[in-house]
Copies of this chain bind each other. A is one copy, B any other.
Amino acid sequence: MPAGFSAWMASVQASVEQALADNLPPADATPQRLHEAMRYAVLGGGKRVRPLLVCAAGALFDAPAATLSRAAVAVELIHAYSLVHDDLPCMDDDALRRGRATVHVHFDEATALLAGDALQAQAFAVLADAAAGIAPARQVEMLRLLAHAAGSRGMCGGQAIDLASVGLVLARDQLEQMHRLKTGALLRAAVLLGAWCGKAPDGDEQRALEDYADAVGLAFQVVDDVLDATADSATLGKTAGKDAAANKPTYVSILGLQASQSLAEKLRIDAHTAVARFGAAAGPLRQLADLIVQRKA
């Protein structure tokens, strides 16, 4: 990882961590247990891939830091709520996340359910904040984008297809469709929200960003499947091998390990190609694509 990128990443991660802490209700505000659970679910962990995408895309369009910060927080809160609900016993029933007990294990199921619900509401509250520094018409567009990315034709829809596919043999395009919704929609929203925080991208620029986001979104999932099949739980900070154990279709189960690794590498190159038009300014976007494909956890 180039030293400049590594420093940029650490600085974004630190400022997002602070912004997340500032945009969550204090743990001592009533109802305390709910607020503790919300903060536990969000703070002190995670790679912050979505906030990094927000900021890397925003840098191309001269977006102000304070505006990017709100968008990054909103996207990350949606992501965090989805993990809390995804870990519940009626979904993946997982006890370990980011190397710690999941929210329903550390607190209880009802609190985890409500914390997820409240985090979703908080994401929209943050993006609708009067102090966001975005022209209202743009702000409404961004809220709309986030709502669609989170909903039944975005992230929730992908999770529903994921559930329905347990034990089935999916064709590769069905698996791809599932992931385009489950993880792709929110990663795409992160890239576009980042760009929209600055001067608006034109049609060609918008399409380039969408192509980049689609390649990165798919690469992210292919690599997740590869890691689930090859890494151990301690390295991942979550339960390894659970997809195979749950009889879920994955890229590895459909394509095999080696072809999955080649696909991830191809998607990494696709992501680079998509943002070539932006020249050196797209360095962080390119390096994020590298990071997503070459990560070990």
A contact residues vs B (CB 8 Å cutoff): 25, 29-31, 33-35, 38, 81-82, 85, 88, 90-91, 108-111, 113-114, 116-118, 120-122, 124-125, 128-130, 135-137, 139-141, 143-144, 146-148, 150-154, 156-157, 159-161, 163-164
CB contacts (< 8 Å) of A25 on chain B: these are: 152-153
A261 to chain B, nearest CB (A): 29
Contact of A91 among B113, B139, B164 (CB under 8 A): B113
A28 to chain B, nearest CB (A): 13
A149 to chain B, nearest CB (A): 8
Query: Known contacts A25-B153, A38-B152, A151-B122; is A161 also within 8 Å of B117 by CB?
Result: no
Bound Cα distance A163, B38 (Å)? 16
Query: Known contacts A30-B157, A140-B139, A160-B34; is A150 also within 8 Å of B130 by CB?
Result: no
Evaluate contact between A130 and B156: CB separation under 8 angstroms: no
Identify 24 residue pairs between A and B in the complex whose beta-carbon atoms are under 8 Å apart, listed by A's number: A30-B157, A31-B161, A33-B164, A34-B156, A34-B160, A38-B152, A90-B109, A90-B110, A90-B113, A91-B113, A113-B113, A114-B160, A117-B117, A120-B121, A121-B147, A121-B148, A121-B151, A121-B154, A124-B124, A125-B147, A129-B144, A135-B136, A136-B137, A140-B140
Contact of A163 among B110, B124, B157 (CB under 8 A): B110
* Stoichiometry, copies per complex: 2
